Amino acid sequence: MKKKEELFYLIQSLSKSEKRYFKVSAQGSDAAEYLILFDAIEAQKTYDESKIKLLFKDKAFVTQLTTIKNYLKHRILQALRNYHAHISKNAELLDIIRNVEILFHKGQYSICESELKRAEKKAKHFEQEILLFHIQEWKRKVHQAMFPQDFSTLKAITLEQKNIVKSTQEYIDLLLANIDPSQFSLSHKKSASLQNRTLKALHKYRKSLLSKDHNKAKRSIEDLIKEWEQHPELLKEYFTMYFSISNNLLGFLVYKKQYKEAFVRILVLKQKAHAVQTISASFIKEKLRLYNIELEIHRNLKELHTTHEIIEEIQDFMQQHNTLMPSTYRLSFSFQFATIYFLKKDNKKALRWINEILNHQTKKDRKDLITYTYWLNLLVHYELGNGFTLRYLVDSMKKHLKKEKNIDFYEKILLKFISKTVEHSNSEKRKEFLTLQENLTAHPIPNTVLGYVDFNEWISRKH
């Protein structure tokens, strides 16, 4: 994202209710110019500043477009802060701290004290230790302003800050340990906060995976999930963290092919996620990660009959949260839909999703997914017996591969086979597929490629 595009993407991310709140809160004599700029940018599909300048060429503000864009961005952010004042306990505590600073400068120390008491209780309950340090700092300042000679209380507050710093230092150490688990060993001393215990358990989980102790890895993540479920208020406040931990376990279960347990946990996790009221970009990322895991199960268990329902559910979710959906996710899911339908031999549905990708591709799309969509397109048309279309598609594929890289030997084998045998009889094809399998044994397809399109599985089911 370029700096000049920041305002465009901010406006595109707003929900209908957020836009309505901003426009209502922005009413006033100074609002006219930046509101018409807001509407113009909102109407664009992709940001084009030259069109904005052309549209407002008769307006005086166009000569200071960068300045008015910055002003508009800050007004939107101000409106969002007010609209989302209760988005989290973190936001609520920041507001209290801001209020305390204003009250302190006005000399309203007794009001400061009551606000800080409320903030301290909330920060401790929801383990907001970094903010708790700032709350204690204001508590010390206020007490010093009211009772400058009360050194014993001032000392007690400062010692409390020191303890908070110790816990925060542990949090930082745990973050570093999780970035590179193999390089860190942690103490067995139990951490005070659930947040730190979570990081410690995740470090243990990752280290167990590295040492291939899968039973220990599974136990550590299961125990962590149980601990979170014993703290319902923290689970509700930090649900995305719980969601991420649960997805780690689900990914592990799919890796171990424990699909039955994975399915049960997916259903339970979906019910919990459905109750979440504040939908953030990080929540959407975890929900899509959950769907990704679920689709992986459907790819592996081709006999499942609920695939179409799951795909429709994912489509509805993506449409509902369109403004927060990265385009890369749409492409990835469309490719998965096409692949799954192909594996289930529903070639018409597979072709629909292939066309969706190829007809809407852009220069920003992942080149690997576009390339393997072309391959999938060849296989689907082969299955449908579209010989005339395939001749054109094979030529296009060769040009595409030459443009991206050199054509590998296994690719030459596949392209020659597809163009040569598409119109053969079924009995002839069975023999040709056996020969193809022998040729690819001598020149195997890399596993990285099979992770996108499982050519070997396709070949093995044809003879």
Confidence band for 29, pLDDT divided at 50, 70 and 90: low
Q: Are residues 347 and 234 in the same domain?
A: no
Q: Are residues 339 and 459 in the same domain?
A: yes
Confidence band for 183, pLDDT divided at 50, 70 and 90: confident
Q: Are residues 438 and 416 in the same domain?
A: yes
Domain membership of residue 185 (yes or no) is: no
Q: Are residues 437 and 370 in the same domain?
A: yes
Contact 459, 437 (CB under 8 A): yes
Q: With a cut of 70, say whether residue 30 has pLDDT above it.
A: no
Q: Which of 278, 302, 322 is the last residue of a domain?
A: 322
| Pick from 151, 146, 154, 206: nearest CA to 181 | 206
Q: Catalogue the long-range contacts made by 257-260 (C-beta closer than 8 Å, 24 or more residues apart).
A: 257/300, 259/297, 259/300, 259/301
Domain membership of residue 187 (yes or no) is: no
Q: What's this model's pTM, rounded to 2 decimal places?
A: 0.83
Domain membership of residue 181 (yes or no) is: no
Q: Which of 43, 62, 83 is the last residue of a domain?
A: 83
Q: Are residues 309 and 333 in the same domain?
A: no
CATH assignment of the domain containing 374: 1.25.40
Q: Are residues 77 and 98 in the same domain?
A: no
Give residue-wise pLDDT tens across range 419-443: 999 989 988 999 999 999 999 999 9
Q: Are residues 372 and 303 in the same domain?
A: no
Q: Are residues 344 and 454 in the same domain?
A: yes
Domain membership of residue 118 (yes or no) is: yes
d(CA 51, CA 213): 59
Residue 334: exposed, middle, or buried by beta-carbon count in 10 A (0-12, 13-18, 19+)?
A: buried
Contact 373, 350 (CB under 8 A): no
Residue 49: exposed, middle, or buried by beta-carbon count in 10 A (0-12, 13-18, 19+)?
A: middle
Domain membership of residue 462 (yes or no) is: yes
Give residue-wise pLDDT tens across range 325-368: 777 888 999 999 999 999 889 999 999 999 999 998 888 889 99
Q: With a cut of 60, say whether residue 12 has pLDDT above it.
A: yes
CA end-to-end distance (rounded Å), the chain: 50
Domain membership of residue 282 (yes or no) is: yes
Q: With a cut of 80, say whether residue 185 has pLDDT above it.
A: no
SS3 percent helix, strand, coil of the chain, rounded to 5, is 80, 0, 20
Q: Are residues 338 and 446 in the same domain?
A: yes
Could you list the residue range(s) of the whole structural domain that residue 47 is in? 3-83
Q: Are residues 371 and 312 in the same domain?
A: no
Q: Are residues 334 and 225 in the same domain?
A: no
Q: With a cut of 80, say whether residue 291 has pLDDT above it.
A: yes
Q: Which of 110, 141, 175 is the last residue of a domain?
A: 175
Rounded mean pLDDT of the chain?
91
Structural domains of the chain, count? 4
Q: Are residues 336 and 462 in the same domain?
A: yes
How many Å is the maximal CA-CA distance in the chain?
Answer: 99
